[in-house]
Amino acid sequence: MATPLTADRLLKALRDEGLKVVEVGNWKTHNRNHKGAWGPVHGVMIHHTVTKGTDSSVRLCRDGHSALPGPLCHGVIDKDGAVHLVGYGRANHAGLGDDEVLRAVIGESALPPDREANTDGNRHFYGFECGNMGDGKDPWPAAQLEAIEKAAAAICRAHGWDAASVIGHLEWQPGKVDPRGFSMASMRGRVDVRLDGPAAGKPKPPAQPKPPAKPKPPARPAFPGRGYFGPGQNNSYVTKLGEQLVKRGYGRFYKVGPGPRWGDAHRQATAAFQRSHAQLKGDADGLPGPLTWHLLFA
């Protein structure tokens, strides 16, 4: 169940889908509302006009005739793919149809056969008449089929419906054959694919720049063991110790280096670091243990 789009929202939805839209006269106030309510709306119905020529088709659908006053739809889709809006509100396009079909459209489920004509369709459907003789010989140009697809998708998108909300007149009212020349199953397939993407006429929102990745802290080297430090030791862990002590502000103890050979500068710098931490003051012997190493590289 849905409240009909306003005329302005309908116009915008069609244009946002990439359609060329022609506004015909006073279409926003041209309707059959005095004959009954329009809404709630449940779907989109597709027809063919059984006429030739865009001008004559638009004129007929806008004005109707003595037996069936206009508007006869909301929009006329010509062979070039333009949508001519001729009415807004209740329109004489759907007539009476099958209540079980309506329930299927509302539920967006598989359509049953249309066996009865017991439900007012003019109240519940948007209608598009498509310029075609409906004799099975008059061609359906690619531009026209694409426009039908876009028009149906535009309304479905605006209401949050899926492609199952799009039906043909022949699926609604017993005895009707329109639209003839393509299958509604194939058209619903096209609408379904279109609804998976953004509206064609709307620019894609610019990609949001990703925030810069937070720098990862350097990996802390594992403590190799006390045996790697002290007089006579010469290894890369002694170098790592000295380089980290320099980074932490104890470079004053080194006249050169620091290098891989253990020396008094390493001992003095390590002891000074230990004395600066309460956890290490009682063991400030200048030789790194696990806690000294952990705090130094933290």
Q: Which domains does the chain have, with CATH numbers?
A: 7-195 (3.40.80.10), 226-297 (1.10.101)
Q: pTM above the 0.85 mark?
A: no
Using 50, 70 and 90 to split pLDDT, how confident is the model at 53? very high
Q: What is the pLDDT of residue 111?
A: 95
Lowest mean pLDDT among 113-117, 124-128, 227-231: 227-231
Query: pLDDT tens-digit profile of 96-112?
Result: 999 999 999 999 999 99
In terms of Cα–Cα distance, which of 22, 29, 93, 33 is closest to 58?
22
Rounded to the nearest 10 degrees, the angle between the axes of helix 184-195 and helix 142-159 is 60
> Which of 234, 236, 225 is CA-nearest to residue 287?
225
Do 72 and 53 form a contact (C-beta atoms < 8 A)? no
pLDDT of res. 216:
66
pLDDT at 206: 66
Q: How confident is the model at residue 15 (pLDDT cuts 50, 70, 90)?
A: very high
DSSP string, the chain: -BPPPPHHHHHHHHHHTT-EEEE-TTGGG-S-GGGS----B-EEEEEE-S--SHHHHHHHHHHEETTEESP--SEEE-TTSEEEE---SS-TTS-EE-HHHHHHHHHT-PPPP-----EESTTTEEEEEE----SS-S---HHHHHHHHHHHHHHHHHHT--GGGEEEGGGTSTT---S-SS-HHHHHHHHHHHHTS--TTSPPPPPPPPPPPPPPPPPPPPP--GGGSSTT-BSHHHHHHHHHHIIIIIGGG-SS---SB--HHHHHHHHHHHHTSTTTGGG-SS---HHHHHHHH-
pLDDT-based confidence at 217, cuts 50/70/90?
low
Q: Which two tokens stand for residue 119?
A: 């439900």
Which residues pair with residue 23 across a beta bridge?
85
Q: Nearest 5°: phi and psi at 196?
A: -75, -15
**How many CA atoms are closer than 13 Å to the CA of 207, on its beta-carbon side?**
3
* Pairwise CA distance, residues 77 & 1, whole Å: 26
